Amino acid sequence: MKRTIPLFISAVTGFVLICTAFIPKFVDWGNDAMAWFNILAAFAFILGGGNLLKMQLQKISAQQAGWGYSAVTLIAFFITLIVGLLKVGVHPNINFPEYAWSGDYLEEGSAFWWLFEYIFYPLSATMFALLAFYISSAAFRAFRAKNTEATILLLIAVIVLLGRTYAGVWLTSWLPNEPILGTSGITYSDFHLSHLSEIIMDDFTTPGMRAITIGIALGVASTSLKVLLGVDRSYLGSDQEA
């Protein structure tokens, strides 16, 4: 009951959806399944919120180290939730002014928009911007041209980085637009870093990306089959659950 039914559900759902791809009449089933899938994903967010609440409340009640931060998390969570769900500060849709709830929940000027604009966005953008420092320092410490492969990686990274910025244009702008002797149509300006970067992106990274994409597709297909055939059951968790 605990394991057999879920295995049966996943196998039937998966194989039915695979079959519908080959029967034009039932192609819409895939779209319906996607719509259901999105609804379930939305409820998964509620589940996530519930879990967050549970964990933080446990921390607060046990007065673990840093429980004050858990309280801050919960306060921020509830304010966002209440403000967003109640559409605080949202005006009705201009075409239907008599329907108070018809406005967009992210309307400019509303309380939820304020939270997004002045707290959520700055915090998430700064968190990711912080990685610029760490990625640079890690690269500075780890990148050494020890062998051919490492040298290629380093060289390409430098060319692409410079080629896509003004520094690259400035560094190689002195190369004239004149043909190189003994070549047909190749000019010195073809070696501008911006041009080299374009050639690398168009011709040399495409094969690598293509091979990786093919590998990923084969990996996804094999993992999907393993899940549908019940070989991979890791998503069911352990048998110890209540």
Interface residues for other proteins in 84-143 (CB under 8 A)? 84-85, 91-99, 101-102, 105, 108-109, 112, 114-133, 135-136, 139
Q: Does residue 223 contact residue 232 with C-beta atoms inside 8 Å?
A: yes
216 near other proteins (CB under 8 A): yes
235 near other proteins (CB under 8 A): yes
Selected from 11, 60, 169, 175, the binder of other proteins by CB under 8 A is: 11
Report the residue number, 133 or 174, with the smaller CB distance to other proteins. 133
Q: For the segment 142-171, give every residue that binds other proteins (CB under 8 A).
A: 148-150, 152-161, 164-165
221 near other proteins (CB under 8 A): yes
Report the residue number, 174 or 188, with the smaller CB distance to other proteins. 188
193 near other proteins (CB under 8 A): no
26 near other proteins (CB under 8 A): no
Would you state the torsion angle of the CA atoms of residues 122, 124, 125, 128, taken in this order, to the nearest 10 degrees? 150
181 near other proteins (CB under 8 A): no
Applying CB under 8 A, the site for other proteins has a residue count of 139
Which of 192, 184, 142, 146 lies closest to 166, judged by CA?
192
